[in-house]
Structure 1
Amino acid sequence: MLIAGGAALALVAVGGGTAYAMDDGVTLDNDGDQQSVRTLGGGTVQDVLDAADVTLDDDDAVAPSLDTEVASGDHVVVRSPRDLTVELDGREVSGGVHAATLEEGLPQLGLDLEGVDMSEDPDTEIPEDGLEVTAEQAPRMVVMYDTVRTETRTTGETVQDVLDAADVEVGEHDIVRPGLDEPVTPETSVSITPVLDEPVVEEVPIEAEEEEEEDPDLPEGEREVVTEAEDGVKEVTTATILHHGQEREYELDEEVVTEPVDGLVKVGTQEQEEEGSEPEGGGDAADLNWAGLADCESGGDPNAVNSAGGYYGLYQFSEDTWQSVGGTGLPSDASPDEQTQRAQQLYNDVGGDWQSQWPTCGVHLHE
């Protein structure tokens, strides 16, 4: 009888495919031996067997059935029973199969050729006294197409092999991790992020940085640009993806077109000498006879320096007194107007006590 599980047998027994086409007769495949059989005026499968002098045993399988009419180009398959034993991961799977080769027999034992790694090639013939092979079940692989999970077993070596075994197709721009050419190991999980539209490429500036460097030779706070900062440019590729069932924008890739040029600015740290404050002369002191005081103190010479040293200018300031009213440097180096203004400020600061500052010549202030 023809067993229901004989998928391979049923396959070769249907239609007139090119695999067995030999001439205009009916092709008879008897346990792998093929011949072209001619019958007069057509006939049935039984007529083909009779013409080929083939007698079926009780346990033989034939397809199509014996009373099926056949014509030139058709195929008739005869398979005698064979014992097939597969030691799968230490567990024995065995039984009688109607198959000429290991590839034909495995499905009849409920085994998927793609799901096992065998000690013999799939096209190995099964002899009359049977065949024993060892096999290891292929590693389990998982494919996640966003949230859709597919499990498969395969002996494939790359991610693409896993996808093929799981019958999962990826789009041109879909994101596959690991990559299609990456090797796989047992329990590998492949993740696919669907890209829903054509990616878009945009140019985006890369902001340049600006470094500041202290320079003790520049006045404090002064800035000198050594290198002008120039922004770079990068190309950013984005697209709409499916993430946990939701659409969202995602950056697929970025490529630097022009590197940014960082700028350099020197910042001065040199401390500057403090300038004297503006003189605060005037008021009641402005109406006094300052020319008379200067004539007495220095002969009216703004650059005068006391021969004994220590007193300078029109009003013979000491350095300490000059600095106390905001003057800098030597009084004799200042302009006559500044000297007079600071002398008036000194007069105001001491409350008009001119005797404490100009005990000899101060009397001329009130002439």
Structure 2
Amino acid sequence: MKLISQLLSAFRTKSVIYAASVAVLLLAGIFTFQVTKAQVSVNANGETTTVRTHADTVGDVLEELNIELGEYDKLSHDPDDKLTSGMEINYTKAIDVVITTDGDDKTYYTTAETVGDVLEENNIDISEHDQVTPALSESVSEGLQVDIAKAFQVTVDDGGEKEKYWTVGTTVEDLLKQEKIELGELDRVNMKLEDEVSKDAPIEITRVEKVTDIVKEKTDYSIVTRQDDNLAKGKEEVVSSGEEGLVAKHFEVTLENGKEVDRKLIKEEVEKESEQRIVAVGTKVEKPAVTTTAATSSSDTVSRGGDGNGSSKTYYMHATAYSASCSGCSGVTATGINLKDNPNAKVIAVDPNVIPLGSKVWVEGYGTAIAGDTGGNVSGNRIDVHVSSPSEAHRFGSKKVKVKVLD
């Protein structure tokens, strides 16, 4: 029995030693397993995680952390790089950004931090005149919408001066305000202010201005004859020489881009009245008067005499003016002179019973002319003088003038 007890005791001791040995070996293995793990830091989208791992590669660590590497994601190391203790791994997941350029949408995946960085990495060129919303310095976020309005040039013709301006597409009114181009009350634009601008449609501004132009014109004096029985018949004497008057005509002138396009007479002001020319006509009869043509009254005949080669007569006659361009006028005189072909011809219409047709005459204020026409209203001591235009005829008016028959 004693021997059996000794054997049992010895067996128990060996078992304890063996168990202890196994335990020591297990602890040593566990210690060795833990010690041989690599310690790495993984920064994923701004959050850092420190792990101890037996993984062989960077890709294995990401897999252990359930990080799925996408096509556009950013990783500081190649996924096949060997893992080393103390390694810092940075991972950024790509987000989608929608960029709209002049209405055309396109989605980009990026890990860039700002809008400007996104445009740069995708080779999207932006000029200084383009408009980008949000600003280039703005941070990107998932699903960010970026709008790009590409600038173009518009030609503005401002009163004949052309200049090009950059714009991203706006109304005519907004472009003019942007470039500080002001419109006057009368100015015109070839487009509506609310119209959208286009690079193919120039903006034309017509600068309209109304100014007053004052033109001063001389007015003829009238001639008055007075019978004077102290002067011999056939004699004349100027009592008052007469003086021209002065009229100021006020015109409203419309200018477009500096050029006159319209002129309207708005008022006339007499600055100086004309003074009559007074001529005394002698009626004193010193010898029997010479009988004249029946149609000529003695009060209208100033003188009659001879110069050795013929005779001449001087009359005071009522004169008006006419032109060949009047309504219904043929332009051909009673003696066959074509006044439309000769608008500056000096021709007067006479009563042939007083001044024979074809006579050469001198008319005060008109000059030397030919008595080459007749007229329905021309009879007795009345004449019509031919001028080049109706406006000139209007200016001539109606007056009494001295008329000399030269031959």
TM superposition score category, shorter chain reference = under 0.3
Instruction: Give the structure with higher Rg (CA).
Output: 2
Higher helix share: 1
TM-score (norm: length of structure 1): 0.24
TM-score (norm: length of structure 2): 0.22
Higher strand share: 2
